[in-house]
Structure 1
């Protein structure tokens, strides 16, 4: 097994709620994945707000999905 050392700031250390000086690679990947997902979700919310998509109802979303699927079906 190999050991990898990663340096992070105190702010990042506290942000991720780290408790010790060591963590498994699996825990590291999980932590990074969650942070990337959070960042992507925030970006999606910003874009939805920018393009007024946040005002779309679930019924409108369902109708849009059905229309796209029907269009794809008609192309074949």
Structure 2
């Protein structure tokens, strides 16, 4: 096993909710992945609001997906 030492700013430690000075690599990956997932979700919400999708019901979303798939099949 290797030990890796990295420097992380206090801002990033707070942003990623890193509280320990030492941790296993899988724990670090999980923490970073969760934060990146949150950021991606925030971006998806912003885009949904921008394009008027945030008010769609699940049935409307399902209909949209079906229409796109149907159109894709008809193009081939």
| Bigger relative contact order, structure 1 or 2 (CA pairs below 8 A, ≥6 apart) | 2
Alignment size in residue pairs: 75
Q: CA deviation at 1:17?
A: 4.6
Q: Give the whole-Å Cα distance in 2 for the aligned partners of 1:40 and 1:51.
A: 16
Structure with the bigger percentage of helix: 1
Root-mean-square deviation over aligned CA pairs: 1.6
CA distance in 1, matches of 2:39, 2:31: 13
Q: Give the TM-score, by structure 1 length.
A: 0.82
Greater shift in the superposed pair: 6-15 or 21-30: 6-15
CA distance in 2, matches of 1:33, 1:60: 30
SS in 1 for 2:5: coil
Structure 1 residue 9: deviation in Å?
A: 2.8
User: Equivalent residue for 2:51?
Assistant: 51
SS of match in other structure, 1:7: coil
Q: 1:62 — aligned with what?
A: 62
| TM-score normalised by structure 2 residue count | 0.82
Deviations 1:20-42 (A, max 9, x none): 31100011111111111000000
